[in-house]
Amino acid sequence: MYVNSEKYVFSRQVIESGKKLFQNFQQLLSDTKESYQRICVESNYKNILEIMEEVRSILEEFDENWVEYEQLYVVELMMIEQDARRFI
């Protein structure tokens, strides 16, 4: 990323966290599709509740990964902004 003609590079931690989030998102898409298909063919209410619990767990994991990434990313953006304002 360039700010005021200076190149800034995000830390390895931010990059790795972003990769982890993206992989988790891809898994979320796959798991959601699979869960939807299972619910469509399932007639037992108890089994549907179990599938819904699995989806909840999948979404919680994704949310945790999102928060981890966003915290790291925003902190580094704030540091870049602070550095870019040093001339003002």
Q: Over the stretch 16-45, which tens digit does the pLDDT of each residue have?
A: 999 999 999 999 999 999 998 998 888 888
Taking residue 24's Cβ as centre, other Cβ atoms within 10 Å add up to 19
Provide the residue ranges of all domains of the chain, joining segments of one domain with +: 14-69
Q: Over the stretch 53-66, which tens digit does the pLDDT of each residue have?
A: 999 999 999 999 99
Taking CA atoms, 81 is separated from 17, 42, 46, 72, 73, in Å, by 21, 52, 52, 14, 12
